[in-house]
Structure 1
Amino acid sequence: MKIAQVAPLIESVPPKLYGGTERVVSYLTEELVAQGHDVTLFASGDSTTSAKLVPCCEQSLRSNPAVRDPIPYYMMMVDKIRRMASAFDIIHFHIDQFQFPVFRTVAQKTLTTLHGRQDLPDLQLLYSAFPEMSLVSISDSQREPIPYAKFAGTVYHGLPQALHRPTFDPRGGYLAFLGRISPEKRLDRAIEIARATGFPLKIAAKVDAVDVEYFDEKIKPLLQGDGIHFVGEISDREKAKFLGEASALLFPIDWPEPFGMVMIEAMACGTPVLAFDHGSVREVIDEGITGFIVDNVENAIAALPGVLALDRVRIRERFDERFTSASMAKAYVALYARNFATASRVPASRIEEITSHETLVN
């Protein structure tokens, strides 16, 4: 099967540091190539892939100080894909909804994975206007605000199985916070939990331009004193040690998290997760096995001893069972085959054949 993967242009694929969607696109693309598919990646020119790369800008937009508005670059990207569309059996978009007006007449040839929150009124109007566009959610909770949209399925994110080596005997003695510093991620809660339990807290986090004021006014004052260590952004290579040596990951969110990549990154390292009950958390965390789920800071403080007592070997086993990139790619290929069969008028009885390795290798 000839597959186009369309990545955001904000970061390279894979991103050098933070960049959740671009990282998922990279893992999926590399796994599809490894499974024998003919894959073309539309992404920034500084991306690295074993697929065929079609650069849609010279470098990631975030790294280019000359870029003020990303929309023109996405318009040019969508037009480039439109001109090449006949070369592909399926076009898989990860760029929100820029492509909807252009590809609605060939909607069955496309899939769009939604990577962000969907509880915004403007988005509800958009999906009503383009009901033929086939969507993929990254958790069932993500799709709750738009039940009328055309969902092909839910596919959880996955990581390469060998990406992070687990640490079953951590020696760091600290709690970890990994992600973005923004109001909805609630680093303030993580700091409160760490101080109340007497654990050091290490913070590996990115501060976007839009969140600088929040960081300066609300978070910086909380970083003063012993036990709170701000590390800054870290790369994939650094994550295994950062998460693996941690006693637990704190995930004290206060928003409808669509998935929460950091939770499965911690699981891959054998590290338990203490998470707040929002968005996808109950779909990702197996409570009492890979972590505990709470609804306030007081309950988090009380739950921490139980979190620390969880079996790290079993945590890694659950990651292997549920969240590898191989499992993610297999789930997407099943959706591709269904769309391909419909668009090409292939009998339904052949869908299983189409998804087999032998049939898909060109």
Structure 2
Amino acid sequence: MKIAQIAPLAESVPPKLYGGTERIVSYLTEELAAQGHEVTLFASGDSVTRARLLPCANVALRLNPTVKDHLPHQVVMLEEIRQRAHEFDVLHFHIDLLHFPLIRDFADRTVTTLHGRLDLPDLKPLYTAFPDVPLVSISNDQRRPMPPVNWRGTVYHGLPAGLLPFTENTKGNYLAFLGRISPEKRPDRAIQIAAKVGMPLKIAAKIDNADRAYWETVIEPMVKSHPHVEYIGEINEHQKADFLGNAGALLFPIDWPEPFGLVMIEAMACGTPVIAFGCGSVPEVIDNGISGILVDSVAEAVENVEWALRFDRRRVRAAFERRFTAKRMACDYLDIYRNLPGVRIKAAPISRSNGEAPDLLAVA
């Protein structure tokens, strides 16, 4: 198939540091290309891919100090897509909603994965106005606030199987928090949990400008007042393997309707169990008692840390391999692509002896 992947321009694909959506776009693009599809990636010029790259900005917009407004750059990308749309069997958008008016004439061979929260009141009239645009959710819970729309499926995120190596014997006796410093991610809960169980906590997280005040007034004072809490900052992919792999458990103490939670499956890939508050997608991602523990309060999390530290890390890794690889994600998306009404290429399933979902190969 000739497939266009359209990524946000704020970060490169893959991102240098934080950037969940761009990371998933990269994993999907590389897996589709590895399976022999003709993939074109619309992204920033500093992106790295085995696919054909069509740069729509010189570098990631967030890292370009001369860029003050992202919107003009996004519109330029949309014009590039409009001119080239006829070149592709399928166009897969990861940029939320800005493209909806553009694709009216060829929406039946597009799909848009919604990567963010959908419970914001301003979104309802937008999706009500575009009920026929084919959409994909990244968890079933993510769909709950939406009006009737054209859902084509739910596809859970996936990682390349060899990206984050399995660590059976950890080198560090610490709990980990990875992601972003923000009120909805609740790093304050992570600090409270670690303090109550008397374990070190390492925090590897980005601080957006919008959350700078929260960091300075709430989290930074907590870090300074707890001698066993260490703030590391943002980390890259290589650092992530060591950071997650050597943690006794990952704390995921969120307080919002998390659409997916990529860090959970990153920890699972390392064999590290997750202690997570059961908001949003979390009960869909965590196999309770196998890959992690679902809790409802700080007190409950504290009570379960010792159990999590005794988890069989091989079972955690096996849960990742069974449910959250990039290969499985790509196969799920290929199935959706070929069932779009405007796509003429259909699937030819090939059975496999290992019980996994079939590969989907294009036939005319």
What is the rounded CA distance, in whole Å, between the counterparts of 2:19 and 2:25 in structure 1? 10
Q: Is the 8 A contact 2:91 2:109 kept in 1?
A: yes
Residues 181/358 of structure 1: CA separation in 2 closer, same or farther (3 Å cut): closer
What is the rounded CA distance, in whole Å, between the counterparts of 2:103 and 2:84 in structure 1? 12
What is the rounded CA distance, in whole Å, between the counterparts of 2:262 and 2:361 in structure 1? 32
* CA deviations over 1:84-132 (Å, ceiling 9, x no partner): 0000000000000011001022111110000000001111111100111
Task: Using the aligned pairs only, state the percent identity.
Answer: 57
Q: Which residue of 1 aligns with 2:234?
A: 233
- Superposition deviation, residue 287 in structure 1: 0.1
Matched, 1:359 2:349: no
Matched, 1:13 2:16: no
Q: Which residue of 2 aligns with 1:115?
A: 115
Q: Which residue of 2 aligns with 1:196?
A: 196
- Superposition deviation, residue 344 in structure 1: 4.6
Q: Which residue of 2 aligns with 1:343?
A: 342
TM-score by length of 2: 0.95
Q: Which residue of 1 aligns with 2:355?
A: none
Q: Which residue of 2 aligns with 1:69?
A: 69
Q: Which residue of 2 aligns with 1:152?
A: 152
Q: How does 1:49-128 map to 2 (within 5 A)?
A: 49-128=49-128
What is the rounded CA distance, in whole Å, between the counterparts of 2:123 and 2:90 in structure 1? 24
What is the rounded CA distance, in whole Å, between the counterparts of 1:149 and 1:304 in structure 2? 41
Aligned-partner SS, 1:11:
coil
Q: Which residue of 2 aligns with 1:308?
A: 309
- Superposition deviation, residue 147 in structure 1: 4.8
What is the rounded CA distance, in whole Å, between the counterparts of 1:309 and 1:280 in structure 2? 25
What is the rounded CA distance, in whole Å, between the counterparts of 1:166 and 1:184 in structure 2? 29
Aligned-partner SS, 2:102:
helix
What is the rounded CA distance, in whole Å, between the counterparts of 1:52 and 1:146 in structure 2? 34
Supply the AA of the counterpart residue of 1:328: M
Matched, 1:162 2:167: no
Aligned-partner SS, 1:249:
strand
Aligned-partner SS, 1:121:
coil
What is the rounded CA distance, in whole Å, between the counterparts of 1:88 and 1:127 in structure 2? 25
* CA deviations over 1:119-158 (Å, ceiling 9, x no partner): 0111111110011100000000001111512110000000
* CA deviations over 1:254-303 (Å, ceiling 9, x no partner): 00000000000000000000000100000000000001011111111111
Q: Is the 8 A contact 1:104 1:130 kept in 2?
A: no
What is the rounded CA distance, in whole Å, between the counterparts of 1:147 and 1:331 in structure 2? 24
Supply the AA of the counterpart residue of 1:343: G
What is the rounded CA distance, in whole Å, between the counterparts of 1:313 and 1:45 in structure 2? 39
What is the rounded CA distance, in whole Å, between the counterparts of 1:106 and 1:132 in structure 2? 11
- Superposition deviation, residue 238 in structure 1: 0.8
Residues 241/163 of structure 1: CA separation in 2 closer, same or farther (3 Å cut): same
Q: Which residue of 2 aligns with 1:184?
A: 184
Matched, 1:265 2:254: no
Aligned-partner SS, 2:362:
helix
Q: Is the 8 A contact 2:13 2:48 kept in 1?
A: yes
Q: Is the 8 A contact 1:206 1:233 kept in 2?
A: yes
Aligned-partner SS, 1:314:
helix
What is the rounded CA distance, in whole Å, between the counterparts of 2:322 and 2:300 in structure 1? 29
Matched, 1:282 2:283: yes
- Superposition deviation, residue 359 in structure 1: 2.8
Supply the AA of the counterpart residue of 2:307: G
Supply the AA of the counterpart residue of 1:264: I
- Superposition deviation, residue 353 in structure 1: 6.1
What is the rounded CA distance, in whole Å, between the counterparts of 2:283 and 2:131 in structure 1? 29
What is the rounded CA distance, in whole Å, between the counterparts of 2:73 and 2:359 in structure 1? 36
Q: Which residue of 2 aligns with 1:222?
A: 222
Which stretches of structure 1, 4 residues or more, deviate above 2 A after TM superposition? 350-360
What is the rounded CA distance, in whole Å, between the counterparts of 1:325 and 1:281 in structure 2? 19
Residues 353/199 of structure 1: CA separation in 2 closer, same or farther (3 Å cut): closer
- Length, aligned pairs only: 356
Q: Is the 8 A contact 1:14 1:23 kept in 2?
A: yes
Matched, 1:293 2:287: no
**Runs of at least 5 residues in structure 1 that lack an aligned partner in the other structure:** none
Supply the AA of the counterpart residue of 2:116: G
Q: Which residue of 2 aligns with 1:245?
A: 246
Supply the AA of the counterpart residue of 1:359: A
Q: Is the 8 A contact 2:347 2:360 kept in 1?
A: no
What is the rounded CA distance, in whole Å, between the counterparts of 2:18 and 2:361 in structure 1? 36
What is the rounded CA distance, in whole Å, between the counterparts of 1:170 and 1:246 in structure 2? 7
What is the rounded CA distance, in whole Å, between the counterparts of 1:356 and 1:164 in structure 2? 23
- Superposition deviation, residue 171 in structure 1: 2.2
What is the rounded CA distance, in whole Å, between the counterparts of 1:81 and 1:188 in structure 2? 43
Supply the AA of the counterpart residue of 1:200: P
- Superposition deviation, residue 351 in structure 1: 4.1
Residues 86/61 of structure 1: CA separation in 2 closer, same or farther (3 Å cut): same
What is the rounded CA distance, in whole Å, between the counterparts of 2:349 and 2:208 in structure 1? 46
